[in-house]
Structure 1
Amino acid sequence: MLERIQASLTALPPAEQRVGKLVLADARKFVNLPISEIADRSHVSKPTVVRFCRSMGYDGLSDFKLKLAGTVSEGVPFIHRSVDSDDKISDVLVKVIDNSVAAFLRYRNDASTHALERAVEVLEAAWKAERRIEFYGVGNSGIVAQDAQHKFFRLGVNAIAYSDGHMQVMSASLRKPGDVVVVISNSGRTRDLMDAADIARRHGATVIVITASGSPLASVGNIHLTADHPENYDRYSPMTSRLLHLMIIDVLATALALRIGADQLQPLLKDMKSNLHSRRYA
């Protein structure tokens, strides 16, 4: 989180920069400061303090402080340890797990709950209106899209996934207002996904993008769920980023399930489980 503030500092207005510098000077102390003292020390107004927090992707000062407290209290570093050709199995085990755990903890501390809330709201609206929810991805992200379809259709949602570029463009052309398209991409630079997202949005669908910040795809969607994690693609295929995308899908599916409610879901899932029971060995 502190790295993110440091990287964004020069892009902020001068007044918000002063708030950011106060955070970086002593993050632990900042967590316990009231908004009036933050404003006084930064020589800005109270609304500017709130604007700074929102510029960083948080709902406000309380949300910002909550995530900042988690970062500084746990002291969890952003670890990325590349797998080397001469690594032993024990080294590979530790590195892969460390990368995944660090990425999950960083996402937990940095994720914009406001963006997630908006995403869940439009997914719930689509479910209530019995509209279509589609998941697009290619390569590794195509597998994540298939997993998303599996999770959402079990909730009684009209969901489907496409990993073929032509099918994505054709289906995006058929979208209407009320439909939702979730586009998943690690690089955020795949032409087919960019085209499909743009087409779906022009036809009135709400487009949620799960991708890296600063990528071309990030600016195409109505809602951007940031998923940042560096990986060396020359040496091995995306691993942690795929797990991060799967985890974000899990968050969305779980939140939607809670909105739908146990009274409606439990009979549906119980009947589904009963129908599958006969297909298993005793």
Structure 2
Amino acid sequence: MLDRIKASLPSLAPAEQRVGKLVLADPRAFANLPVSELADRSHVSKPTVIRFCRSMGYDGLSDFKLKLAGSVSEGVPFIHRSVDMDDKTSDVLVKVIDNTVAAFLKYRNDASSAAIEKAVDALANTYRTGKRIEFFGVGNSGIVAQDAQHKFFRLGGSAIAYSDGHMQVMSASLLGPGDCVVVISNSGRTRDLMDAAGIARKNGATTIVITASGSPLANVTQQAGHIHLAADHPEGYDRYSPMVSRLLHLMIIDVLATCVALRIGGDKLQPLLQGMKDNLRSKRYT
């Protein structure tokens, strides 16, 4: 987070630059001081402090402070520790877990709550109107799409996942206004997914994309005014067996499903889930 602020300083207005320099000088103090004190120390107005936070991609001062406090207190550097051929099992255990934990902590600190809020609104509205929620992914992302279907169909709405490119194109051709499609891609460069997402957008469906920032899929989605949930990590998209990326995508799906369930409300959802649980008891050994 601090590296991003430092890199962004030249592009900010002079007043916002002073706020950024105050953050870099003492991030812990910035996270704990009131807005009036921050404005005085930066020699700017209170709205400028808030404007700086929004320029950095956060919802406001409270959201910025929350992410900043987490960033400076974790003590877990986001360094991808690749597994070496001569690693012992204990080394592999530590490296794989550390990579995953670091990626999760970085996402927690960097994630745009505003983008997640838009995605949750779109999914909840689609649920309420009885329209279709679909999940597209191929390869490892196809498995994440299936997990998403498993989580969302239990909420009682219409949810389905497709991992075949032809099925994605055909299904996207049938989507329309009010429907919602979630496209999951590690690289953001898969032609089938980009084609299907383009068709869904053209037909008026809301498109939510979970992929890396700066990828072709992310750029097209943002230009079209749809929703991009950034899933950034140090793992190359061409690795044979993605680990961190898959777990990060699964976590984002968990966040979306949990938020949508809360929007639906316990009064409506709890009896549905309890009935499902009761019906599954006969499938288990006592």
Q: TM-score range, shorter-chain basis?
A: over 0.9
CA gap of 1:141–1:34, structure 2 versus 1, over 3 A, is same
TM-score by length of 2: 0.91
3-state SS of paired residue (1:278) = helix
CA gap of 1:11–1:139, structure 2 versus 1, over 3 A, is farther
CA gap of 1:280–1:67, structure 2 versus 1, over 3 A, is same
- In structure 2, what residue type is equivalent to 1:51? R
- How far residue 20 of structure 1 moved from its aligned partner, in angstroms, is 2.3
3-state SS of paired residue (1:214) = coil
TM-score by length of 1: 0.92
Indicate whether 1:92 and 2:92 are aligned: yes
Cα distance in 1, alignment partners of residues 218 and 17 from structure 2: 24
CA gap of 1:155–1:64, structure 2 versus 1, over 3 A, is same
Within the candidate set 258, 261, 281, 1:257 is matched to 261
- How far residue 34 of structure 1 moved from its aligned partner, in angstroms, is 3.1
Cα distance in 1, alignment partners of residues 49 and 43 from structure 2: 10
The answer as to whether partners of 1:82 and 1:232 remain within 8 angstroms in 2 is no
- How far residue 155 of structure 1 moved from its aligned partner, in angstroms, is 0.8
- In structure 1, what residue type is equivalent to 2:246? R
Counterpart of 1:269? 273
3-state SS of paired residue (2:267) = helix
- How far residue 281 of structure 1 moved from its aligned partner, in angstroms, is 2.7
Within a 5 Å distance, the mapping from 1:104-143 to structure 2 comes to 104-143=104-143
Map Cα deviations across residues 105-136 of structure 1 (whole Å, 9 max, x no partner): 11112211111111111111000000111111
Counterpart of 1:16? 16
The runs of 5 or more residues in structure 2 that have no matched partner are: none
3-state SS of paired residue (2:182) = strand
Cα distance in 1, alignment partners of residues 191 and 207 from structure 2: 16
CA gap of 1:11–1:163, structure 2 versus 1, over 3 A, is farther
Cα distance in 2, alignment partners of residues 245 and 273 from structure 1: 26
Counterpart of 2:71? 71
% same residue? 80
Counterpart of 1:238? 242
The answer as to whether partners of 2:233 and 2:245 remain within 8 angstroms in 1 is yes
> RMSD of the alignment, in Å?
1.9
The runs of 5 or more residues in structure 1 that have no matched partner are: none
3-state SS of paired residue (1:259) = helix
